[in-house]
Structure formats: structure tokens, C-alpha cells
Amino acid sequence: MINSFHIFLTQTQPVSTASERYLLVYMVMVLLIITVLVIVFFVVFQKRKNKLLLERIKQQQALEEEIILAQTESQEQTLKNIGWELHDNIGQLLAFASMQLSVLKTQVSDDVKDKFKDTSNALNESLKEVRALSKTLNNDVVLNIGLEKSITNELNRLNKMKFTNAQLVIKGEKVDFENRKHEIIIFRILQEFLSNSVKYSGAKNLKIILEYQPNNLIVTASDDGVGFDMHTVEKGSGLINMQSRAALIHAKLDLYAKPNAGVTLSLNYPRS
């Protein structure tokens, strides 16, 4: 009887051990599958989350670009209207005043005529200035004559005003813009820089460099004015306008300045 029970235990023990091993393997496999599923779920969730965030960022950037574009178009239309007003109204008034002055000169003595000379010259120069300014404010004129000629005209106008030397330097082989509207935006950025130089810098010399590279146009504008401290100066509307316009054409704009060392603007415009 005892021998039979001993034989039974001896025969059943290996079976129990094998079952435990199978159960352990099964549990490990289940845990492994659950872990893999959790990891896969987490990865898929993270990718989905990143995709949604990226789409949201792109939508926000697109919205900001549309806002900047709308503001820019509004500004351009305002400048165009001012250009028309200068050319059609003020220009005509100055032309009429010049004609009237010429008529008066014929009705006075020779001694008095000399006194009309300076006034007449000043009036004629004012008329030329108004007409030149009206052209730079009109997009159609800028597109018609191109970026380089528009910059040259602007510098020539400044040379007559107050600067000792305002020059344009062109490096590399000129390449036409794929998007002609970008020419206008770059020109407006330079106009803003030149306007600040006239009003605040006290500069005597201005220099603009257009460097045509295989894939980029590097624009550098500099003056020898009083400069400013970049760490303490507040951003005015001029700098904000330049940065907004640069962002609109995906260009990188940097401004360098030091007290008594002038200001330099650098614009890296990707042409492709």
C-alpha cells in the first residue's frame, strides 16, 4: 500500500512541474504582449499628438502670414495713394506755382528778377523731389524699373538731400526674382532703413550691397551715424515693420548697432 502511494507521487510530480513551467511561460508571453501593445499605443499616440501640434503650429503660422500680408497690402495701398496724391495734386500745385513765378519774372525789372532766382530754383527742386518720391511709393513703378534701379533712384534722392555719399554696390550675377512682389518687400525694408538713417542717425555716408549668390540674395545696408545700444533700445514701428516684411518672404533679417559706430542691416533672402 505504502509502495503504491510512493510510486504515485513519483509519477505525478514531473507532470505538476511541467504545468507550472507552461503557466509561467504563458504569463510571461501575456505580459510581453501587453507591454508591446502599451508601447505601440504610446508611440502611435505620441505621433498623433506631434502631428496635431505640428498642424496647429502650421495653421498658426499661416494665420500670422495672412495677417502680415493683409497689413502689408494695406500699407502698400496707402503708400500708393500717397504717391498718387503727391504726383497728381501737390505736383500739379508746385508746377502751377512755378509757372506763375515764371510769368511774374517777365513783368518785373531786371533788379527784381534776380530775387526770383533762388525761389524759382527751390520750387523746381521741390517739384523734382515730389515726383521722385511719388515714384518710390508706387508698386507699379518699382516693378517696372526693378529693385536695383529703384534703390539707385532712392539713393540719388538722398544724395541731393543731406548725404555726402550714398551708393549701391552689386556683387555676383544678377538673377531675376521668381516672385516679383518680393522685390517690393525687400525695397520697402531698405526704404525703412534709409528713412531711419535720415531721421535719427546723423549719418553722412550710406552703402547698400546686393550680393547675388547661387541660392540666396544677401542684402547689406549700413550707415556711419550715431548708432544705438541694442540692449536698451526699444523696438519701434520701423524695426517691427522690417521684421514682419522679412518673415513674410521667409528671409532672415539681422540688425547690428553700437553707439557711435553706425547701424548695419543684413537680409538673407532665399531665392529657391
Asked which of 89-93, 99-103, 127-131, 185-189 is least confident by mean pLDDT, the reply is 89-93
Is the pLDDT reported for residue 237 higher than 70? no
Q: Average pLDDT for residues 89-111, to the nearest whole number?
A: 63
The cell numbers describing 184, all together, are 517690393
CB 184 within 8 A of CB 142: yes
Q: Which domains, and CATH codes, for the chain?
A: 165-272 (3.30.565.10)
Higher pLDDT: 139 or 156? It is 156
Q: Average pLDDT for residues 201-226, to the nearest whole number?
A: 91
> If we measure between CA atoms, which residue out of 164, 112, 162, 170 comes closest to residue 146?
170
pTM comes to 0.60
The cell numbers describing 249, all together, are 518672404
CB 171 within 8 A of CB 211: yes
Q: Average pLDDT for residues 242-261, to the nearest whole number?
A: 88
> If we measure between CA atoms, which residue out of 257, 86, 268 comes closest to residue 189?
268
